[in-house]
A and B are shown apart, each in its own frame.
Chain A
């Protein structure tokens, strides 16, 4: 099992460009989420999903869109990249209230916006 995978590992964008960060899991978890981690700080929740077709905003959702068409995939879209979005992005999954609360993180995507 691959667990949680993310692509790309690194990305450099120019201000105003758009892109999609991919996240996939083969753990059959209902709950998926995106966090960002700025240097020297803890992770902050961007968006999350409690199942296919259901998404909701986290603490810092502005500038990002998500969708959840399948259990396995939860892409994060940057609509118009800004330097303030330079960060490391982690996708995570967990089984939710029907199972363990333990969250499993992907390897991260390091994004730089110039």
Chain B
């Protein structure tokens, strides 16, 4: 089955700096790569996703890049703000297992004012 690894597990940045979180996946058949933000005690919320036929996608301060050859994808957050502080999860899915998600272990992002 799919295996997703995520780094770093914790990340501390100053407000206004950029944050980068990286994930690798094992199954070359995976074709959908979402990123979720989870605040304490809340459900995961989708912040951005990318499909395997696209190399990069951007939504305001958030961008995701995908390298299918190397089987890794990254989340980039620019001009970080204190409200960006949360746990971020990457995930991957493919046609197998009903497009269900395999999650990375999460990154706790702390943005210091």
Q: Which residues of A pack against B, CB within 8 Å?
A: 31, 33, 35, 40-45, 48-50, 56, 58-59, 90, 92, 94, 96-97, 101-103, 105-108
CA distance A107 to B45 in the complex (A): 10
Closest-CB distance, B47 to chain A (whole angstroms):
11
Q: Which residues of B pack against A, CB within 8 Å?
A: 1, 4, 6, 32, 34, 42-46, 49, 51, 89, 91, 93, 95, 97-106
Judge whether A42 and B89 touch: CB under 8 Å: yes
Judge whether A101 and B93 touch: CB under 8 Å: yes
CA distance A101 to B95 in the complex (A): 11
Judge whether B97 and A56 touch: CB under 8 Å: yes
Closest-CB distance, B94 to chain A (whole angstroms):
10
The 7 residue pairs across chains A and B that have the minimum distance between CB atoms: A42-B103, A105-B43, A101-B32, A50-B98, A43-B103, A48-B100, A42-B105
Nearest chain A residue, comparing its CB with the CB of B106: A42
Among B4, B46, B99, B102: residue with most chain A CB under 10 A: B99
Contact (A41, B43) CB under 8 Å given A48-B97, A50-B98, A58-B100: no
Nearest chain A residue, comparing its CB with the CB of B32: A101
Closest-CB distance, B64 to chain A (whole angstroms):
14
Judge whether B97 and A97 touch: CB under 8 Å: no
Residues of B within 8 A of A96 (CB): 98-99
CA distance A96 to B32 in the complex (A): 12
Contact with A44, one of B46, B93, B103 (Cβ below 8 angstroms): B103
Judge whether A101 and B49 touch: CB under 8 Å: yes
A-B contact pairs, 16 of them (CB 8 A): A31-B99, A31-B100, A35-B101, A40-B106, A42-B103, A43-B101, A45-B97, A59-B1, A59-B102, A96-B98, A101-B34, A101-B99, A102-B34, A102-B46, A105-B45, A108-B43
CA distance A83 to B6 in the complex (A): 27
Closest-CB distance, B26 to chain A (whole angstroms):
13
